[in-house]
A = this chain, B = another copy of it.
Amino acid sequence: MRELTRAEEQVMQVLWKIKKGFVKDILEHFDDPKPAYNTVSTIVRILQDKGFVTHKAYGRTHEYYPLVTKSDYSKSHLKTFVNDYFSNSFEKMVSFFAKEKSISVKEMEEIMKIMENEVKKQKPLR
């Protein structure tokens, strides 16, 4: 998956948040000092070329949607990171950061519980 540049990522973060929107909607979600309308418009069209968003046309105005989900992008992004910084071992990464954050065994058990619940939720449906 293509990497997002900083400006592109900012626009995607807004789109992921608002689900869909016109350029003016995206613009609204920027902190001051907001960029110019045309700046956002350009970036959103670049994102479209890269396949990250699509649009639905209402006459001449376009409503933009993410095509790549935040999950998909974060997956790809972390995969690259884990590969580059933890020789592709998710386990190494987790234990490194868990230690970093002084996450205790107890807290890890909490995470496991969350995971177990997610497994339970999915099992009966499949």
Using a CB–CB cutoff of 8 Å, the interface residues on chain A facing chain B are 9, 13, 70-71, 73-75, 77-78, 81, 84-86, 90-91, 93-101, 103, 105, 107-112, 114-116, 118-119
Contacts and interface: CB of A to CB of B under 8 A. Distances in A.
Contacts of A9: 84
B105 A115 contact: yes
A97 B74 CA distance: 10
A94 B94 contact: yes
A78 to B, nearest CB: 6
B78 A95 contact: no
Q: Ordered nearest first, which 7 A-B pairs have the shortest CB separation? A: A74-B85, A95-B114, A91-B111, A108-B112, A95-B115, A95-B111, A94-B111
Contacts of A78: 81, 93, 97
B112 A105 contact: yes
A115 B91 CA distance: 10
B101 A108 contact: no
Contacts of A107: 91
A97 to B, nearest CB: 6
A115 to B, nearest CB: 5
18 contacts: A71-B96, A74-B85, A77-B81, A78-B81, A78-B93, A81-B81, A90-B97, A90-B98, A91-B110, A94-B94, A95-B115, A98-B111, A99-B118, A103-B115, A105-B112, A105-B115, A105-B119, A108-B108
